[in-house]
Amino acid sequence: MTFNEADWTDRGGYDPATQAYDYDLSGVPEYSDLDIHQLGLELDATYQIKPDLALGVGFSMNIYQDNDPYVFDDDGKLYVVGASLNYVF
């Protein structure tokens, strides 16, 4: 037995032309109930040696923790240290 589109809609199936859209979005946050913690810190300093010469240093730390195994339970820490010598000409 086969059904065509008219048979499907006559039997109470979904027909986008006649079905109203449900605009209630209150349940959307439950679709992805993730448990993620993230922390990012950054520290920069500049020391002016001469009026046209400066030394800069910086440190950045990022910590990411995912406590949901269905998102592969990713955890990680990233530390970045940098230095610069700035000359104004």
Confidence at residue 27, expressed as pLDDT on a 0 to 100 scale: 76
pLDDT in tens, 16-59: 666 666 777 787 777 667 778 899 999 999 999 999 999 999 99
Q: What is the mean pLDDT of the chain?
A: 81
Average pLDDT over residues 53-76: 86
- What pLDDT does residue 52 have? 94
CB within 8 Å of 85: residues ≥ 6 apart: 53, 54, 55, 56
The range of the structural domain enclosing residue 69 comes to 5-87
* Domains in the chain, number: 1
Q: pLDDT at position 75, please?
A: 87
Are 68 and 62 in contact by the 8 Å Cβ rule? The answer is no
Angle ∠(42,35,79) on CA atoms, nearest 5:
25
